[in-house]
Structure 1
Amino acid sequence: MLKFERLRIIENLLNENGSVSTSELSKMFDVTEETVRNDLVELQNANKIKRVRGGAFLIEPVDNEVPITIRTEMLQDEKNRIAQIALEYINPGDTIALDSSTTAICLAKLIKEAQLSVTVITNSIINGSILMDSRNVNLIILGGTLRGKSNSLVGNITNESIGKYVINKAFVSCSGLSMPAGPSDTNEQEAKIRESIFLSSEKNFLLADNTKFDFRTVYLISDFASIDCIITNQNVSKEWSDFLNEEKIELRY
């Protein structure tokens, strides 16, 4: 297949689905992933798409978050490491909340594999599909309006539902983490859901890989006073270590 034909097909797929995966395009075209990446670079240079690690998505002014189909392929080792540490804090009988982040999806998979007897409250359709056939999990999927980019349920109904539950431990991620503001998100509705989860939980865990530190997005999720523990995949700078000690926030990596 000629290059211009690949570019046309990629553009059509983006218009239909909003995002594309490098690995899937490689298989579809029977070319190397490097060839696909070069194609995506050309489309990005034409200001038609935004490239990310693992693929690309259409540039949309209203919601510029990377679609979940792409985010699931990014930093997989780092997210799995964070999820493994988070699993250590979950005990049989706990009622936990998982947000719609890709790191929480990794944690949901580990909960299923470990056959933990827990109650899981989530606004994530993907987490629900992972845990729906787990005999040991009492699964509660929050209602609301479906947000396609994250396969999550958001809105007033979702926020009101969260407040009706007593949550022992919450596992929430973010788009950015900055001092002294706190964790933030690119989407207002997702930020509100995460804030509501933290407010309803007895102990709050922030799941943040190393790329989230010293990066701030638009919508604040909470302040640092709401966070009990930050789980990441590698050690942080001395500045961050000193700051978290002052805030009395546990750090795990």
Structure 2
Amino acid sequence: MKIQRIHEIEEYLKIKETATLDELCQAFNVSKNTIRRDTKYLIDKGILEKVYGGVILKNNSLVSFEHREVTKLNEKTLIAKKSAEFIEPNDYIYIDSGTTTMNILDYIDQTLPLTVITNNLDVINFAVELENVQLITIGNKYKKETRSFLELNNSDILKSLNVNKAFMASTGVSLKSGLTNSDILETRIKKAVSDKAETLFLLADDSKFDHATLSTYADLKEVDHIISGGELPSKYIEYFSQNKINLELVY
């Protein structure tokens, strides 16, 4: 589908920052004429810039973490607060990177005995101040744009950890593509956590639904609880009911 492919090309360039037309043809399995049309659309929108043999991402097209943090702030706060209600004493929880997940610990009992596993810098900074929290960090390469650590220094580290509840964020959520993310290194961690967790929570405001980005880290059917807000498309409400996925809407 043309619109979805154009969106995926945009996400691809947000990671790579530059690409040749031949590279894009191979990545998206389309002709060079198709890629020329798709990239022209993004060039006209001011997202990409044409260079010899390819395109580059314009610096001002990236949305900063700080800007995303204030977008839908009230809804994200309510989602974090509702998520905290599911955390119980002696849980082994994973808290994902993202502006929706970063504030979960603000709303728990600060004396709660807990093991927190995360790659989220803001969660790390908060968790170290909690006396009864055992903190385990994941990733060894810092990404400033998302304030998270990427790359597993030991690919088996998550396989050895017990995660009974994982609170995950997603750049896009769709029936076809599931839970998606635009950074391949982040996707590796998200997938490893999702595969390992006993109970999978998705924290996503309503703007994330019916969108897909570069890579999928979990099928929608794998999710146990979805915490969201606003107005979700009816097809998702029906899908959650059919697949016994608990939906918690906050307002």
Q: 1:244 aligns with which of 240, 243, 247?
A: 240
* Aligned residue in 1 for 2:69: 72
Q: Percent identity?
A: 28
Which TM-score applies when normalising by structure 1? Answer: 0.71
CA distance in 2, matches of 1:71, 1:65: 11
Q: Answer yes or no: is 1:192 the counterpart of 2:191.
A: no
CA distance in 2, matches of 1:48, 1:214: 21
Residues 10-64 of structure 1: per-residue CA shift (max 9 Å, x gap)? xxxxxxxxxxxxxxxxxxxxxxxxxxxxxxxxxxx99499xxxxxxxx8359xx7
Q: Answer yes or no: is 1:168 the counterpart of 2:164.
A: yes
CA distance in 1, matches of 2:142, 2:91: 27
- 1:1-253 aligned within 5 A: 47=46, 59-60=58-59, 66-111=63-108, 114-157=110-153, 159-253=155-249
Preserved contact between residue 96 and residue 168 of structure 1 (Cα < 8 Å) = yes
The structure whose RCO (Cα within 8 Å, separation 6+) is larger is 2
Preserved contact between residue 79 and residue 227 of structure 2 (Cα < 8 Å) = yes
Q: Which runs of 5+ in 1 are unaligned?
A: 1-44, 50-57
Aligned residues: 198
- Partner of 2:212: helix, strand, or coil? coil
CA distance in 1, matches of 2:139, 2:72: 29
Structure 1 residues 169, 71: closer, same or farther in 2, change over 3 A? same
Q: Which runs of 5+ in 2 are unaligned?
A: 1-43, 49-56
Preserved contact between residue 138 and residue 152 of structure 2 (Cα < 8 Å) = no
CA distance in 2, matches of 1:117, 1:173: 24
CA distance in 2, matches of 1:123, 1:225: 24
Structure 1 residues 98, 125: closer, same or farther in 2, change over 3 A? same
Which TM-score applies when normalising by structure 2? Answer: 0.72
CA distance in 1, matches of 2:86, 2:161: 20
Preserved contact between residue 97 and residue 119 of structure 2 (Cα < 8 Å) = yes
Preserved contact between residue 84 and residue 105 of structure 2 (Cα < 8 Å) = no
- Partner of 1:102: helix, strand, or coil? coil
Structure 1 residues 66, 108: closer, same or farther in 2, change over 3 A? farther
Residues 124-166 of structure 1: per-residue CA shift (max 9 Å, x gap)? 1221011111112111112421112112111132653222200
* Cα distance, 1:65 vs structure 2: 5.8
* Cα distance, 1:114 vs structure 2: 4.1
Residues 66-92 of structure 1: per-residue CA shift (max 9 Å, x gap)? 332222222111111111111111101
When the two chains are superposed, the root-mean-square deviation of aligned CA atoms in Å is 2.4
Matched AA of 2:202: L
Matched AA of 1:239: K
CA distance in 1, matches of 2:122, 2:154: 16
CA distance in 1, matches of 2:68, 2:156: 28
Matched AA of 2:230: Q
Residues 95-117 of structure 1: per-residue CA shift (max 9 Å, x gap)? 10001111111113223x64322
* Cα distance, 1:232 vs structure 2: 0.2
CA distance in 2, matches of 1:172, 1:93: 19
Q: Which moved more, 1:138-147 or 1:124-133?
A: 138-147
Matched AA of 2:74: D
CA distance in 2, matches of 1:94, 1:225: 23
Q: Which moved more, 1:150-159 or 1:163-172?
A: 150-159
* Cα distance, 1:195 vs structure 2: 1.1
Structure 1 residues 72, 115: closer, same or farther in 2, change over 3 A? farther
